[in-house]
A and B are shown apart, each in its own frame.
Chain A
Amino acid sequence: MGSRQDERPADSTGLASRPGPGERIARVLLAYWPLGPLVRRVARLRASVHTKLLGAFLLIALLLIVMGITGLESIARVARQSRLLDQARERVDAMRQIEHALGLQMNFMRNALLLRDDATIESMFRENNRFQETFDRLEAAASPDQRGTIRDIRSAQDKVMATVARIAGLIREDKADEAMDLHLSEGYPLYREIATLVTRAVRAEEAGMGRLRDGVEVTYRRALLLTGGFAAASIVLALGLGFVISWSFILPVREAGGFLGRVAKGDFGASIDVPNRDEFGALARQMNEMSRELHELYDAQRRAAHQLQVLNAELEQASRAKSNFLASMSHELRTPMNAILGFTEMIRDGLYGDVPPEIQDPVSDIHTCGRQLLGLINNVLDLSKIEAGHMELALGEYVVEDVVNTVKLSLRALAATKGLDLVATVPTGLPLATGDSKRITQCLMNLAGNALKFTREGRVEIRVAAEGESLLFAVSDTGIGIPVDQIENIFEEFRQADATVSRDFGGTGLGLSITRKLVELHGGRIWVESQAGKGSTFFFSIPVRVAREAAA
């Protein structure tokens, strides 16, 4: 997993790591168009992301609404002009009908003058009436600028009707010539006048229709242009706004990604610079704040680590010095002890000749005191070593019974001198144990030695038992016991149950403290059960197999 992360490019956002075609186009647009500055300007707008998005959508929606209204209006205008066109066409049709009716009227008049029968005259009147009807219809639909012409036509027609009535009367009275004269002098010129007026009206209506048709064409073209223009503008605006707004978000997010990547790699104190004044700007400010805090923390931590290192080196130095001091102290104390005990032993062994009987006792005392002094020196050095952490256990396999026997043999003489029974009970079948047998012997020796020391009569018993993975050693005596209130600190250094005890029984009170520490080094524990006046039992329990870690 780690190696895969290492393969990643420096830009850890992953967004720009593998540019697709869209990404490349966006980069070109940002670099060469004025879109780059625009993106920064949008980012710099003091408005929230929500407001910016809403603004963009509203702008596009507004454009679409305007486009819709304009389109509807264009459609309405085209419809209105079409209607006007239809009306104009109707008027032209009506004018044509009047032209036709006028022609028929003149035709029937001519027939009536030639044939002079009632049926033809009736037909003439009927035709005149029909013209009248048609004309009435036209008058209602006429456009205002045609009203003058229509009025002229009506007055001419009214005259025609009067003239026709007079001509019909003359025909019925068989005054054909007079009728013909009347027709030629009044009727025909009136018909010509009407024909001229109608023709003029038709021309005017036709011209109006042409103008209307042109208007419809213009309106239609304008509507098409407007709608198309708005649609194109909407698309461009939507794309542009989308691009600008989304990049005004993408750029700071990428910045932040790269920045966090650097922080994750441990580059504390790096800062991020985005032009945004929206949520992304706030986020960037907080990230910078975080980075600064991290940097300060990191600095503080580094300083602390350095101090710790210095301190550690000093401690190590001190520890080495202490260790060296202990080693040389031990040697310096033992060297004269070696001479004292060595010379005494050689005197007692008769190396310098026979020892006079009166000298034998003091020589023996020197030897005893020398050994006591050595024991004290050993205890103090042991304690110092344990305190300094230099006590190391020499772990090895040992037979539990051997340890107990060593202790029993060493103390047998002391027990016999005091008239005490020293009993050791070791069950058969104990497993081969692992531990520092010298130190375990030292522990048992301390406890049994103490028991003998503090017992005036009775017995001292050493018992061992295997309890699961532990060995339980117990040393009980029938001695003076320990008062309840002093049991707790019996294992502290320089403690004896009573200050007077050391006067009566001797000892420095180091033995139990060292024993406890050695037991604990073995990963075990020590405790005591006692009743003042009746005796005590000291227990310690250590693992059958002491591991190196437990001993540490």
Chain B
Amino acid sequence: MKTVLYVEDNEFNRKIVRQLLVRTSYRLIEAVDGEAGVTTAREAGPDLVIMDIQLPKLSGLEATRQLRADPATAGIPIIVITSFALAGDEEKAREAGAAAYLAKPYSPRELLAMIRQLAPES
């Protein structure tokens, strides 16, 4: 069973992913800010991280960078959810070490496809 960590401060969006993964074999763990996201990833060692770009305490990009820099978590693929705010969001996500990015508002269907691609259900 694969574990997916979703780092997102908005309860409704976390709920979407929670319900999206209900009928799949993925186990979802959640974090509500960047720092908690990094800590949880180190402790739980998930198979995939979905990281919102704008988070309290530590930005999604910085959290991504820290996870990539830590040998313990460097191998975990990360999907960064961008908000199309300014030009170059995607480039920044890639530079920070994201395996893929998805612009908000994303289609839950597309997100699920991306999750399955990066961390295939066993």
User: Taking beta carbons and an 8 Å cutoff, which residues of A are in contact with B?
Assistant: 323, 326-331, 334-343, 345-346, 349, 351-352, 374, 378, 381, 385, 390-394
Contacts and interface: CB of A to CB of B under 8 A. Distances in A.
B88 interface: yes
Interface stretch (B31-39, B69-77, B104-112): B104-112
B54 interface: yes
A69 B88 CA distance: 102
Contact of B83 (A331, A352, A390, A393): A331
Contacts of B44: none
Main SS at interface, chain B: loop
A328 B89 CA distance: 13
A392 B109 CA distance: 30
Contact of A336 (B12, B15, B53, B108): B12
10 contacts: A327-B86, A334-B104, A338-B10, A339-B12, A339-B15, A342-B107, A345-B107, A346-B20, A349-B108, A394-B88
A393 to B, nearest CB: 7
B113 interface: no
Contacts of A345: 107-109
Given A326-B86, A337-B105, 8 more contacts: A327-B83, A327-B85, A328-B85, A331-B53, A339-B12, A346-B20, A349-B108, A381-B84
Contacts of B12: 336, 339, 343
Nearest to A351: B19
Interface string B1-18: 000000000101101100
Contact of B19 (A346, A391, A393): A346
Interface in B71-104: 83-88, 104
Contacts of A346: 16, 19-20, 108
B58 to A, nearest CB: 15
Contacts of A349: 108-109
A342 B87 CA distance: 24
B18 to A, nearest CB: 11
Given A331-B104, A337-B105, A323 B86 contact: yes
Contacts of A343: 12, 16
Nearest to A342: B16
Contacts of B109: 345, 349
Contacts of B13: 335, 338-339, 342
Contacts of A326: 85-86
Contacts of B105: 334, 337-338, 340-342, 374
B85 A331 contact: yes
Nearest to A344: B108
Given A328-B54, A339-B13, A343-B16, A334 B108 contact: no
Contacts of A352: 19
A434 to B, nearest CB: 16
A338 B87 contact: no
A37 B13 CA distance: 96
Contacts of B84: 330, 334, 378, 381
Nearest to A378: B84
Nearest to B111: A342
A461 B15 CA distance: 44
Contact of B87 (A336, A339, A391): A391
A329 B104 CA distance: 13
A333 to B, nearest CB: 9
A335 B105 CA distance: 7
A343 B109 CA distance: 11
A450 B105 CA distance: 24
Given A335-B104, A338-B104, A349-B109, A390 B86 contact: yes
A352 B54 CA distance: 29
Contacts of B54: 327-328, 331
Nearest to B8: A335
Contacts of A337: 104-105
Contacts of A340: 105
Given A342-B105, A345-B107, A346-B108, A330 B16 contact: no
Contact of B86 (A334, A335, A385): A385
Contacts of A374: 105
A340 B85 CA distance: 19
B88 A330 contact: no
B87 A330 contact: no
A339 B107 contact: no
Contacts of B16: 338-339, 342-343, 346
